Structure 1
Amino acid sequence: MKDESPNDWLRAELQDTLDEDYEIELEDAVLSREIARIYRDKHPSQMPRPEYFSELLRLQSELIRLQDWVSYHKEKVVVIFEGRDSAGKGGAIKRITQRLNPRVCRVVALPAPSDREKTQWYFQRYVSHLPAGGEIVLFDRSWYNRAGVERVMGFATDSQVQQFFDDVPEFERMLVRSGIRLVKYWFSITDEEQQMRFLMRIHDPLKQWKLSPMDLQSRVRWEDYTYAKEEMLERTNIPEAPWYIVPGNDKKRARLNCINHLLGQFPYGDVPHDHVSLPDRVFNPDYERDVLPPELYVPQLY
């Protein structure tokens, strides 16, 4: 039988996974009609879904190759995702991890620090989540909380913020010297786009959980966040760990651009794999399967 070409595989995979991907994409489908209409008017050049899914699957297949390379060579990878609330960090992370092995690639999204953690060295609670050899860690917000939300909302003093700016370049150089490959992304959206996405969350019962009092305050303090972001990028953009800005107004293109760029940060390639074959099942002629009581089964409602 003739081997399938990569394009044949992509078409088959695309057909098999559309249901799963459409489920993830429900975030765009469950909006109120009026909000959805306004959003379409603001984004007239959205990428067609078949084109988006086809390219996403191609990039995700490359992410699997990257994962295998990281695992085989015991590389240590940290990817930081920062940006304003609703900028699209979570959506990009979800597409990156969607087909990867959670034992290799994991997401770290820490809650507010506990009273005990507030007394620790600031970076201490992040250090325990850093990767060992063969692991990829994606930080959905990171130690840069101190330069952003903690600074703007008054959870950190001016001296603590200045100490952070003094410390973080050397902290990240230490990580790089230890063999960690560190990549930092800032997802950037406009004032108008954030307002639209917050309205979408307010009108979408499946997304209202994403809105917090802190999110609402971020609208009030847009300019304060802008100033904090600009100083953060200026003072922490070091050669060993530069910042990369992802324009995020178009969510689908932002995800694809981010994944494509991330793949370009590593000299990954194919690695050896053990040949896998399915062994024959062992049949025992004396074995009789027990009949289980019906109450053990999940009701078949669908």
Structure 2
Amino acid sequence: MNKVNNAHKVPFKLTEADAEKLNSKEGLISVMSKEPYNIERALRYVNYLNKLEELQVELIRLQTWAIEKGERIIILFEGRDAAGKGGAIRRITERINPRHMRIVALPKPTEEQKSQWYFQRYVEQFPKAGELVLFDRSWYNRAVVEPVNGFCTEDQYKVFMKQVNGFEKMILQSGIRLVKIYMSISKKEQHKRFDEIKNDPLKQWKMTPVDERAQDLWDDYTEYKKKMFKKTNTALSPWKIIKANRKTHARIACIEHILESIPYDKNTEI
């Protein structure tokens, strides 16, 4: 039997505007998608979809401005495994012109790449004029993931930490705009998301050996993350930490930060 969740500490009052939102295709789907039915939850989701659409229009405006002005933009996403980086990137890119943007998620380096300057394979992915490039993990692999998992030596880690701020200064001085986002989740939330991935045949491919060790190495990740922020959260190239336990809130916060960080012309016609 269908159930309705009415367990509210304070009686929930549905306004006429709320009822209109729920009486849409998105509203009806959000109400009916989960049992027990929860009107408040459904309304929150519809509000999220409406806000997301509003922000995606602004992303199109930003991209149009970047194309017209020949701007080069890099947005990099870091965070623990299952923090929602991929989901945020999908919402950012799903409405913009795919011919003027790229998503970069590099595999582990080849033997040839290992012999090169560490930053080289990332530089090769940098944007041309009018292009937006989003890194799903970046050169900051060497700040956290690699030392935690033993994928680099201590000397390699130290060299990276000495060079990274200068590297980013060169990026910015060359005229490229750089936005750094770190998506932060709790250990409990990461465990919950890993369980969901493992039990979903459509998502099981996402689990890697590195993911499998993430919970056991939680404190090590925390230690290196703190070192990374202390060294690289500079006035010239700051980090934006997004609390990502709630995916919808995190996606909205990411887009808002991007729009706030890049001084695009808000009157650009689209």
Shorter-chain TM band: 0.7 to 0.9
Q: Is the CA contact (8 Å cut-off) linking 1:78 and 1:138 kept in structure 2? A: yes
Q: How does 1:224-235 map to 2 (within 5 A)?
A: 224-235=220-231
TM-aligned CA deviation for residue 88 of structure 1 = 0.7
Instruction: Map 1:100-249 to 2 at 5 A.
Output: 100-249=96-245
Q: CA deviation at 1:272?
A: 5.7
Contact 1:190 1:249 in 2 (8 A): yes
Match of 2:258 among 262, 265, 268: 262
Q: Pick closer, same or farther for the CA change 1:85–1:47 going to 2, 3 Å.
A: farther
Aligned length: 243
RMSD between superposed Cα atoms in Å: 2.5
* Equivalent pair of 1:73/1:134 in contact (CA under 8 Å): yes
Whether contact under 8 Å (1:47, 1:252) holds in the other structure is no
- 1:144 is displaced (CA, Å) by 0.3
How high is the sequence identity, in percent, across the aligned residues? 48
Q: Identify the residue that residue 98 of structure 1 maps to in structure 2.
A: 94
TM-score by length of 2: 0.84
**Is the 1:46–1:250 contact (alpha carbons within 8 Å) kept by the matching residues of 2?**
no
Equivalent residues of 1:81, 1:142 under 8 A apart: yes
Distance 1:46 1:167 in 2: 48
Verify the 8 A CA contact 1:82 1:186 in the aligned structure 2.
yes
Aligned to 1:271: 268
Using structure 1 for the length normalisation, give the TM-score.
0.76
Deviation (angstroms), 1:133: 1.2
Structure 1 stretches of 5 or more lacking a match?
1-10, 38-43, 274-302
Higher-Rg member (1/2): 1
- Partners of 1:166 and 1:196 in 2: how far apart? 36
User: Which secondary structure state, in structure 2, belongs to the residue aligned with residue 253 of structure 1?
Assistant: helix
Structure 2: state its 5+ residue gaps: 1-19
Q: 1:137 to 1:47 in 2, by over 3 A?
A: farther
Q: Answer whether contact 2:61 2:269 (CA < 8 A) is retained.
A: no
